[in-house]
């Protein structure tokens, strides 16, 4: 998304899944984009806190949770702060695992084990999207319950994910294209946040790490991988 911004300032661009378009400088604000770019964002004000809440419900005895995030990624600092606030409200001790480059991943994950984290939360960032399988394998090997920010992690063997329904974002993006083709200006079309979310649980992984997911959590899942 950032690469298309300097490429043109006249051709309308409809985005569908950037993390925080204001933080990365794609739009001036969500309410008034102010340029040739508008559309949907995957950023949600309470998403980070929801990851903590669901993880705590799935692991009731949890007391220490590690959070993998990227200090260099625009918007990640805000998401980490939201995670921290929710963790404190639930009586959880939060361990910060700042990841600046993919090369830092091994040391960050080992820190989670060294500091006796009972679970792991991943804050969405391109800095480690390419290393998803390594994170999934590490969590399984160390029997570490992990909440991921995208469903493909769970489909690859991760425990749980809670994230915007990207398919819904794509459908809603079509309405922007229709409005622009009918004469609307991107600058006048507010950027919209996600409206639908997916909570996915991989029961095969839960069994592998000897975790019993409470029934009240299972019934809330939009999809259960058995």
- CATH number, position 156: 3.40.50.2300
Q: Give the mean pLDDT of 23-30.
A: 85
According to the model, what pLDDT value does residue 94 have?
A: 96
For residue range 169-179, list pLDDT tens digits in order. 888 989 999 99
**223 is a domain residue:** no
According to the model, what pLDDT value does residue 3 have?
A: 47
For residue range 65-105, list pLDDT tens digits in order. 999 998 888 788 888 999 999 999 999 999 999 988 878 89
Do 118 and 128 belong together in one domain?
A: yes
pTM for the predicted model, two decimal places: 0.85
Do 118 and 71 belong together in one domain?
A: yes
Do 39 and 81 belong together in one domain?
A: no
Where is 91: in which H helix or E strand?
none
Spatial distance between the Cα atoms of 197 and 164, rounded to a whole number of angstroms: 4
What 3-state DSSP class applies to 59? coil
With the C-alpha atoms ordered 88, 89, 91, 94, is the resulting torsion angle positive or negative?
negative
Please give the residue that has the higher pLDDT: either 167 or 59.
Answer: 59
Query: Which of 69-78, 188-197, 198-207 has maximum average pLDDT?
Result: 198-207
What 3-state DSSP class applies to 25? coil
Task: Report the domain count for the chain.
Answer: 2
Check if the beta carbon of residue 72 is closer than 8 Å to that of residue 123: no
**1 is a domain residue:** no
**7 is a domain residue:** no
Do 146 and 62 belong together in one domain?
A: yes
Spatial distance between the Cα atoms of 5 and 10, rounded to a whole number of angstroms: 10
**5 is a domain residue:** no
**112 is a domain residue:** yes
What angle (nearest 5°) sits at the alpha carbon of residue 160, between those of residues 2 and 101? 40
**185 is a domain residue:** yes
Where is 46: in which H helix or E strand?
none
Check if the beta carbon of residue 200 is closer than 8 Å to that of residue 51: no
Q: In the structure encoding, which two tokens stand for residue 12, read together?
A: 């309308």
Domain range spanning residue 208? 47-163+198-218
Check if the beta carbon of residue 74 is closer than 8 Å to that of residue 51: no
Burial 152-169 (b: 16+ CB within 10 A, else e): ebbeebbbbbbbbbbeeb
**169 is a domain residue:** yes
What 3-state DSSP class applies to 4? coil
């Amino acid at each position: 998304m950032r690469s298309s911004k300097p490429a043109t300032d006249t051709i309308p661009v409809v985005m569908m899944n950037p993390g925080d378009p204001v933080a990365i400088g794609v739009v001036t604000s969500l309410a008034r984009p102010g340029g040739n770019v508008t559309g949907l964002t995957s950023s949600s004000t309470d998403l980070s806190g929801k990851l903590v809440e669901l993880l705590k419900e799935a692991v009731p005895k949890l007391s220490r949770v590690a959070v993998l995030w990227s200090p260099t990624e625009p918007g990640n600092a805000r998401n980490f702060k939201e995670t921290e606030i929710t963790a404190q409200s639930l009586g959880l001790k939060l361990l910060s695992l700042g990841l600046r480059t993919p090369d830092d991943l091994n040391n960050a994950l080992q820190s989670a084990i060294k500091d006796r984290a009972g679970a792991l939360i991943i804050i969405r960032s391109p800095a480690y999207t390419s290393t998803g399988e390594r994170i999934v394998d590490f969590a399984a090997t160390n029997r570490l319950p992990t909440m991921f920010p995208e469903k493909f992690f769970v489909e690859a063997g991760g425990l749980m994910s809670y994230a915007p329904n990207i398919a819904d974002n794509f459908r809603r993006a079509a309405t922007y294209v229709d409005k622009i083709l009918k004469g609307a200006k991107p600058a006048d079309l507010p950027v919209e946040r996600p409206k639908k979310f997916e909570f996915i649980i991989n029961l095969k992984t839960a069994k592998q790490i000897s975790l019993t997911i409470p029934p009240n959590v299972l019934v809330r899942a939009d999809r259960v991988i058995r």
